[in-house]
Amino acid sequence: MADFLSGFRIGGSGMAAQRARMNSISSNIANINTTKTPEGGPYRRKDVVFEAIPDAQSFGDIIGANDPKADFNRVQVTDVVYDKKAPLLKYEPNHPDANEEGYVAYPNVNLMEEMTNMIQASRSYEANVQAIQATKDMALSALEIGR
């Protein structure tokens, strides 16, 4: 049963990572026209950073070099980074956030890129759901053998 639990942990970590990615994408799309933030300036696009970590439950699992589970990795969100691209400047002299020259700084968020990332995150989430379902089906089949 321990190997099945590893499958659940790995699939669950993938689902959690993709959920965090979807949250950042949603924030980017929701703030596509935000010209003023509490930090000052336009909204900055966010992106999550993933890291592969060993699938270990305990300290013994971590130091167990001969453990076959040591070859399996979970995913973890390690950081949320802000895009360094310059904001888009649009000439709108009547806008309340316009500078002295009449330009307004808009976030450099590309809607098509965000939608593509959203589809990719959604498909990755679905793949992890299917992996967990397959692991569950195998565990139930293994229990049926014992009957």
**Domain ranges across the chain:** 2-145
pLDDT in tens, 16-44: 999 999 999 999 999 999 999 998 889 99
For residues 80 and 59, the answer to whether their CB atoms sit within 8 Å is: no
Higher pLDDT: 71 or 100? It is 100
What digits encode the pLDDT tens for the residues 94-142?
Answer: 999 999 999 999 999 999 999 999 999 999 999 999 999 998 998 888 8
Structure tokens at 87: 């904001």
Q: Which residue has the higher pLDDT, 59 or 116?
A: 116
pLDDT of residue 1: 47
What is the mean pLDDT of the segment spanning 65-91? 82
Tell me which residue of 111, 114, 115, 105 sits closest to 85, measured CA to CA. 105
46 close to 29: Cβ distance less than 8 angstroms:
no
pLDDT band for position 145 (50/70/90)? confident
**The token pair that represents 2 in the structure block:** 């321990």
